[in-house]
Amino acid sequence: MNAHNSAILDANIGWLILAIFSLFWIFLGWYWGRKAKQLDDFMLAGRNVGMALAVATAMATWVTSNTTMAAPQLALQLGIWGMVGYSLGSIGLLMFAPLAKRIRVLMPHAYTSGDFVRLRYGKAAWRVFLLISLFYGFGWLISLGMAGGVLIHALTGIPYVYGMSVILTICVLYTLLGGLRAVIGTDFIQTILILVGVVILAWLAIDKVGFDNIHSAVLQERPELLNLLMPAAIMFLFNNLLFGVGEIFHSNVWWSRAFAFRQGVGFPAYFTAGLMWLPIPIVAGFVALAAPALNLNIPAADMVGPMVAGKLLGVGGAILVFIVVFSALASSLDSLLAATSDLITQDIYRGHIRPTADNRELRFAAKGIILGLGVVTWLLCFPRITTLAELLYFTGAFVASTIWPIVAGLYWKKTNANGATLAMVFGTCIGLYSYFAIGFYVAALIGALVSMIIVIVSSLLWPGEFEWSQLQYSGANTKGASQ
């Protein structure tokens, strides 16, 4: 299918929207970054983020291009359980709420999730964790960069390389200028745009088509979509839930926010974000069920959302979808750039290469690493190797194997370093084996199960006695702190 033929928006309008939002985000990045003179300001927004911005950044980061584009696709493929199953991705945010509170209390000066694993379990576990975390981070970065190019091309006909380059360049620039403060600030605006956009689209579908017509058309043409006992959809529901929990529990994207939020904000912010995120896939996905009633011929399932919007609201609907998708992409891409850069700066550069680096040097290194990450991601996205996008499927086993070492490490003194390391290694290996031997839908489940058994058994057989005070370290060198 030629995207030029299926594009719902004129390329010139697409370029205009890209230009307006690019300038806006970059200006905000510069504006908010002016006062980021210290390392804590740049990497963790001064560790004082309030409730409103905290809720919005958690929501926006978890609303990726997948949420806005794949939720309608899943509704069209798996029906009601497809969109409800996708919404269970919010369980990860809800469950991370108490962890965020404990992380902030136990580690008030830390910078990354790697800091926790190093201090809690030692260097072997830390290095295994870094491998998993960086593999996942790069997989997600590449898939987002490629999704940017593919979606901009599909929606407007703008060539893939141009679209991918523009979205990467914008996100790198404003993250570089403003650090986490720019990421969190723009996340707030992007959250509002996404929420308003999906509400308008769902409202139009209800107003112009109606529940009765939507239901009767689906019942006539695709009755399986209304089947509440569809086995594939129920399986998807559990896999998605577990994958989401693993992604959030281990990733520095969420840990860096736990460190950045003001004391006492982490728990209510993540919990509220989870509750507010929960309905978004349902609202965005429901629009797809209007396709049969509108007699739309959908050439590719992932284009159902934009096509229904275009049908209901013409050019206006197409512009709305483009802005929602662009906001969803940018809000996740910037967060991932900042969090992966923090991980490389603290755990690789400072942890392995320059242990004596002062804060001024680290702040400089962080900027260079953001730029480097952007360039590497661009190079890997450039050839549009589709198999790279499938990296994310593999990461199910990787991330799920970290759930138990993280949770037990935060709450259970008896959990020991060897058990945690083996849990991550064997959880990943056996999860990957099951991915190939059985299917993608069991990788996260088996990875988490193996990891859980190893952590619990090893903690009971060889109990450790960890002192929580060991986590209260000063996360960075004080030398140069005011630079």
Q: Are 266 and 103 in contact (CB under 8 A)?
A: yes
> CA nearest 42: which of 248, 337, 326?
337
* Tokens coding 37: 């003179």
| Cα dihedral: 171, 176, 178, 179 (round 10) | 90
Per the listing, tokens 């996100």 go with 171
| Binders of another protein in range 269-308 (CB under 8 A) | 275-276, 278-280, 282-283, 286, 289
The nearest distance, CB 52 to another protein, in angstroms, is 4
Burial class of residue 478 in the structure, from the number of CB atoms within 10 Å of its CB (0-12 exposed, 13-18 middle, 19+ buried): exposed
CA 474 from chain centre, in angstroms, equals: 28
**Residue from 50, 314, 316, 439 binding another protein (CB under 8 A):** 50
Among residues 12 and 216, whose Cβ is nearest to another protein? 216
Which range in 133-141, 189-197, 236-244, 381-389 contacts another protein by CB under 8 A? Answer: 189-197
Terminal alpha carbon distance of the chain:
54
Find the DSSP H helices in 382-477: 386-389, 391-400, 403-411, 417-437, 440-461
**Residue from 104, 120, 181, 350 binding another protein (CB under 8 A):** 181
State how far the alpha carbon of 63 is from the alpha carbons of 77, 103, 195, 208, in Å.
Answer: 20, 23, 10, 26
- Size, binding site for another protein by CB under 8 A: 47
> What's the rounded Cα separation, in Å, for the pair 61 and 43?
16
**Residue from 16, 20, 192, 375 binding another protein (CB under 8 A):** 192
84 binds another protein (CB under 8 A): yes
Q: Are 174 and 28 in contact (CB under 8 A)?
A: yes
The nearest distance, CB 227 to another protein, in angstroms, is 6
Among residues 275 and 348, whose Cβ is nearest to another protein? 275
> What's the rounded Cα separation, in Å, for the pair 415 and 35?
42
Which range in 107-115, 120-128, 142-150, 198-206 contacts another protein by CB under 8 A? Answer: 198-206
The nearest distance, CB 211 to another protein, in angstroms, is 4
45 binds another protein (CB under 8 A): yes
**Residue from 8, 49, 74, 233 binding another protein (CB under 8 A):** 49
120 binds another protein (CB under 8 A): no
Return residues touching another protein (CB under 8 A): 45-46, 48-53, 55-56, 59, 80, 84, 87, 181, 184, 188, 191-192, 195-196, 198-199, 202-203, 206, 211-212, 214-216, 219, 223, 226-229, 262, 275-276, 278-280, 282-283, 286, 289
